[in-house]
Structure 1
Amino acid sequence: MVCGAGKTEVLFKAIDTAIASGKRVCIATPRTDVVLELTPRLKNAFPAVKIASLYGGSEDRHSFAQLTIATTHQLLRFHEAFDTIILDEVDAFPYTMDESLQRAAEKARKPVSAIIYLTATPSRKWQTECRTGKRNFVTIPARFHRHSLPVPEFRWCGNWRKRLAKKQLPPECLGWISERLSARKQALIFFPHIESMQAALPLLQKQNPAIDSVHAEDPERKEIVLGMRNGETPILLTTTILERGVTFANIDVAIIGAEDRIFTESALVQIAGRAGRSAKHPTGTVTFFHFGKTTAMEQARKQIQTMNKEGKTRGLLDD
């Protein structure tokens, strides 16, 4: 299932059928951001259904509900509670790294139950298991709006770290940013580490003081993301915290330092998937600025091109 396929909406029919049969359903995801994103969409889709939204510090923690949206950590509190568990973004940290969370998902399901895994970026192991028939799977190789996934462009920008140390940014990156500001096109720019992002922020605020930044430990994270969503922020600098789970309607995307080890194939596919998500704005540019191409970069681009090719072959794309 590609990034932006509309997987939440794809689930609606199954959730509706389960709830109509008196079943109890849980959608679990590794990250709080995704719980906060999904809750209003599901409450809007199922207005008559009692829905609990569970994450650290949430107010719903002690309420019973037929439909539960929870972080995977919250599953530790349940025992044989759910008829269906839908695990969203199963490739995301911390679920992939924490066996206790994987066991919690098994423990939270009833003895006779279904468990469904959703991912836009399956691990190499899962890809092999699907190809060799060891795992049942369904592929959705296109977005709901029937436009191709944006394919990343690779642009060499030299030793960007050295430039940052001198309080400069590569001219290739500055030119890209100036074009977006002139065109009034919002953009997300990913950095490998907080330090490099924070070093770049004041340099870019000279072009436009409304440019902002966000990272996982930022106390104003929710407000900053909302400002971007409302169009108040022209360009948002971010770490990998925004690689998944958030949707902005009409943006271009760039990475500065795409060769860094933190940008795995999975992370790069997710980041590229931030662009072109909306039916009103189904296209967007994705640019990987780098100081040397990596295997992960090549594999990410190949995976996106493969999905576009399959979508075209199956008649799921109009462009």
Structure 2
Amino acid sequence: MKERKLTPITPSSSLDLSTYLSGRSLLASEIPYPEEKLQKAEHVHVSPGLTKKANSWQCNRCGNSKQRLFGNFPCANCHQEEGCYYCRSCIMMGRVSSCTPLYQWAGPALEIVPASHLVWDGELSEGQQYASDEAVRAVETASELLVWAVCGAGKTEVLFQAIDKALQLGKRICIATPRTDVVLELAPRFKKVFPTISVAALYGGSEDRHLFAPLTISTTHQLFRFKDAFDVMVVDEVDAFPFSYDENLQWAVEKATKQIGTRIFLTATPSEKWQHECTQGKRPHVKIPARFHRHPLPLPTFKWTGNWEKQLRKGRIPAPIAKWVQQRKDSGKQALLFLPNIELMDQVLPLFEKLNPSIAAVHSEDPERKEKVVKMRRNEISLLLTTTILERGVTFPNIDVAVIGAEDDIFTEAALVQIAGRVGRSVDFPTGNITFFHFGRSRAMLRALFHIDLMNKTARKQGLIDE
């Protein structure tokens, strides 16, 4: 992995270090201030970038302690005989080595003037309001809360009153999410409803990366640059890759949050461990089992297709899949078709083009990913082949969805629930078809079906859906 070249910053001796460094932990190369003065500046704390414990290293920025992710090189600064060690895990953010310190502000904390800033005239559903009240209580008591809300329940709106309560208490808030595109989607929404405060949007290359703001929307990776910064930490899509698999990102969230602070986690698909903790009463949580439009979640249909992979690789689309695609084309309804990997998707694209010329394929490495999603939203594409990259974070108002090879290991319970959650999100089109094509039912498929069905049953018991 190559080191990212940081944008050159012109040094300034007149920089307000309290604003620049408050809650941050930065390399000298990230601070527009002469390094020799920085080390002597009042209220600036200097700490080592790496710490050596016995015969092992730990990175104090990203938390990495895997020794295979450290390297060493002949260093012109420290001239150590054994070389200078550095962390490869976070080198894309600039090199942290055994001789490069991190700088933090240790002076008086910057104050956020307590005031209400929420400008929003929308209404919350009964389920949303209950979750909102619990989130407000978590802010008031500096406690932890999991908001377990079905796909399309309106989790963002649930946060508005809690964030406003935090601002009324003079607290600093961060909403962290694993993906840049979610930051870009959320930032304008929060700027609209909190128009009188600064809202920073942080991601790789962001122009807001040095802005001190009462409300910050950030990728979880950017939190490596913070320490004891936020009174309220909201983690959106807590189950999503890479956050759910990367202990360093989880460590970054903890490092960026003040020791006495609020932690709110949002997800439609908690891990099996978290679900068990909720059931056992060991994890504070609130459920929103229904969408705001009061219609039940569409249940997936299981459709056996035989050895679908063998047929596709021989250039034949299995009959049930071909029929499903043709029905969407005849009815003029858009469709998402999920496949387990990029290689197979590229191979079968020409086959599906024969069925429906208004087609495109998208995956994580596609440079035109965003443009294709926009075309889909404009109804310029009727059938979009995709990998799990679109399992969450996208909304198309009137769409049917199918999964080819739903039994594949890539389609976990969470992935299948999220994929099913693309259907029926709009108040104008609250229903739709979700089909799992398979060559044998997997445990994840059955758990996903049970998960969705249980949410519908819970919503009916609570009077949150109308049928």
What range describes the TM-score normalised by the shorter chain of this pair?
over 0.9
Q: For the residues of structure 1 that align with 2:186 and 2:369, how far apart are their CA atoms?
A: 17
Paired amino acid for 2:449: R
Q: For the residues of structure 2 that align with 1:213 and 1:22, how far apart are their CA atoms?
A: 47
Partner of 1:51: 199
Please state if 1:230 is matched with 2:391: no
Q: Pick from 311, 319, 338 the counterpart of residue 190 of structure 1.
A: 338
What SS does structure 2 have at the residue aligned with 1:147?
A: coil
Given that residues 325 and 355 in structure 2 are in contact (C-alpha distance below 8 angstroms), is that contact kept between their aligned partners in structure 1?
no
Q: For the residues of structure 2 that align with 1:84 and 1:38, how far apart are their CA atoms?
A: 17
Q: Pick from 235, 251, 260 the counterpart of residue 112 of structure 1.
A: 260
Q: How does 1:1-319 map to 2 (within 5 A)?
A: 1-319=149-467
Tell which deviates more after alignment, 71-80 or 53-62.
53-62
Q: For the residues of structure 2 that align with 1:198 and 1:228, how far apart are their CA atoms?
A: 19
Given that residues 401 and 433 in structure 2 are in contact (C-alpha distance below 8 angstroms), is that contact kept between their aligned partners in structure 1?
yes
What SS does structure 2 have at the residue aligned with 1:145?
A: coil
CA RMSD of aligned residues (A): 1.2
Q: For the residues of structure 2 that align with 1:128 and 1:280, how far apart are their CA atoms?
A: 35
Tell which deviates more after alignment, 2-11 or 301-310.
2-11
What SS does structure 1 have at the residue aligned with 2:183?
A: helix
Q: For the residues of structure 2 that align with 1:16 and 1:153, how far apart are their CA atoms?
A: 42
Given that residues 407 and 440 in structure 2 are in contact (C-alpha distance below 8 angstroms), is that contact kept between their aligned partners in structure 1?
yes
What SS does structure 1 have at the residue aligned with 2:435?
A: strand
Paired amino acid for 2:401: V
Given that residues 299 and 453 in structure 2 are in contact (C-alpha distance below 8 angstroms), is that contact kept between their aligned partners in structure 1?
yes
- The alignment's TM-score, normalised by the length of structure 1, stands at 0.97
Paired amino acid for 1:97: Y
Q: For the residues of structure 2 that align with 1:289 and 1:37, how far apart are their CA atoms?
A: 32
The answer to which structure has the higher helix fraction is: 1
Q: For the residues of structure 2 that align with 1:43 and 1:200, how far apart are their CA atoms?
A: 42
Paired amino acid for 2:417: V
**Structure 1 ranges of 4+ moved more than 3 A:** none
What SS does structure 2 have at the residue aligned with 1:97?
A: coil
1:206 deviates by: 1.9
Given that residues 278 and 284 in structure 2 are in contact (C-alpha distance below 8 angstroms), is that contact kept between their aligned partners in structure 1?
yes
1:176 deviates by: 0.7
- The alignment's TM-score, normalised by the length of structure 2, stands at 0.67
Mark the structure with the bigger radius of gyration: 2
Q: For the residues of structure 1 that align with 2:466 and 2:390, how far apart are their CA atoms?
A: 29
Q: For the residues of structure 2 that align with 1:183 and 1:121, how far apart are their CA atoms?
A: 32
Given that residues 187 and 253 in structure 1 are in contact (C-alpha distance below 8 angstroms), is that contact kept between their aligned partners in structure 2?
yes
Given that residues 37 and 245 in structure 1 are in contact (C-alpha distance below 8 angstroms), is that contact kept between their aligned partners in structure 2?
no
Tell which deviates more after alignment, 61-70 or 300-309.
61-70
Paired amino acid for 1:193: N
Gaps of 5+ in 2: 1-148
Given that residues 84 and 109 in structure 1 are in contact (C-alpha distance below 8 angstroms), is that contact kept between their aligned partners in structure 2?
yes
Instruction: Return the structure number with greater relative CO, CA threshold 8 A, min gap 6.
Output: 1
Q: For the residues of structure 1 that align with 2:161 and 2:338, how far apart are their CA atoms?
A: 35
What SS does structure 2 have at the residue aligned with 1:139?
A: strand
What SS does structure 2 have at the residue aligned with 1:17?
A: helix
Tell which deviates more after alignment, 44-53 or 242-251.
44-53
